[in-house]
Amino acid sequence: MAHPLSRRDFLRHSLLAAAALSLAPLDALALGNKPFVRKGPPKKVIVIGAGPAGLSAAYELVQVGHDVTILEARTRPGGRVYTIREPFSDGMYAEAGAARIPPNHGLTLAYIKRFNLSLDPVYPATLSFVSSNQSKRSELTWKGYASAVERAVGIDLGRDSQRWFKIRGGSDLLPKAFAARLTEKILYGSPVVKIAHDARSVRVTFSQAGSYQTLTGEHLICAIPFALLRRIEVSPPFSPKKRQAIQDMTYASVARVFLQVRKRYWLEKGVNGFAVTDDPMEIWHPTFNQPGKRGILLSYTRQHYAQRITAMKESERITHMLGQMEKLFPGIRQHCEGGVTKCWDEDEWTRGAWAEGSWWQLKKIAQPEGRVHLAGDHLSSASSWMQGAFESGQRVAHEINDAP
Ligand X SMILES: Cc1cc2nc3c(=O)[nH]c(=O)nc-3n(C[C@H](O)[C@H](O)[C@H](O)COP(=O)(O)OP(=O)(O)OC[C@H]3O[C@@H](n4cnc5c(N)ncnc54)[C@H](O)[C@@H]3O)c2cc1C
Min CB(231)–ligand X separation in Å: 7
Contacting residue, 224, 267, 296, 340, with ligand X by CB under 6 A: 224
| Interacting residues of 78 by C-beta distance below 8 A, sequence separation 6+ | 50, 51, 52, 171, 172, 174, 175, 176, 179
Using the contact rule CB under 6 A, the part of the chain among 225-233, 288-296, 316-324, 356-364 near ligand X is 225-233
Say if residue 222 is exposed, middle or buried (CB neighbours under 10 Å; 0-12, 13-18, 19+). buried
CA-wise closest residue to 362 among 244, 220, 253, 228: 244
Contacting residue, 103, 106, 217, 225, with ligand X by CB under 6 A: 225
**Partners of 212 in the β-ladder:** 207
CA-wise closest residue to 266 among 321, 316, 315, 336: 336
Q: Which amino acid is at 200?
A: R
Based on CB atoms, which residue is closest to ligand X, 16 or 382?
382
CB-based contact 321:258 (threshold 8 Å): no
- Angle, alpha carbons 334-297-50 (nearest 5°): 145
Distance CA 83, CA 74 (A): 15
CB-based contact 195:204 (threshold 8 Å): yes
Site string for ligand X, 312-351 (x = CB under 6 A): --------------------------------x----xx-
Based on CB atoms, which residue is closest to ligand X, 31 or 99?
99
Contacting residue, 254, 257, 297, 396, with ligand X by CB under 6 A: 254
CA 386 to chain centre: 6
The yes or no reply on residue 353 touching ligand X (CB under 6 A) is yes
Q: How many CB atoms lie within 10 A of CB 198?
A: 11
The yes or no reply on residue 385 touching ligand X (CB under 6 A) is yes
Residue with the shortest CB distance to ligand X: 51
Using the contact rule CB under 6 A, the part of the chain among 24-32, 50-58, 263-271, 304-312 near ligand X is 50-58
Can you list the alpha helix ranges (DSSP code H) found in 182-239?
226-229
Based on CB atoms, which residue is closest to ligand X, 273 or 388?
388
**Partners of 300 in the β-ladder:** 256, 282
Using the contact rule CB under 6 A, the part of the chain among 4-12, 179-187, 223-231, 242-250 near ligand X is 223-231
Min CB(70)–ligand X separation in Å: 9
Using the contact rule CB under 6 A, the part of the chain among 71-79, 149-157, 263-271, 309-317 near ligand X is 71-79
SS3 content of the chain, % helix, strand, coil (to 5): 35, 25, 40
Using the contact rule CB under 6 A, the part of the chain among 98-106, 147-155, 261-269, 291-299 near ligand X is 98-106
Using the contact rule CB under 6 A, the part of the chain among 47-55, 180-188, 285-293, 362-370 near ligand X is 47-55
The yes or no reply on residue 386 touching ligand X (CB under 6 A) is yes
Can you list the alpha helix ranges (DSSP code H) found in 129-249?
142-153, 173-181, 226-229, 240-248
Based on CB atoms, which residue is closest to ligand X, 182 or 267?
182
Chain positions contacting ligand X, by CB under 6 A: 48-54, 71-74, 79-81, 97-101, 191-192, 223-225, 228, 232, 254, 344, 349-350, 353-354, 376-377, 384-389
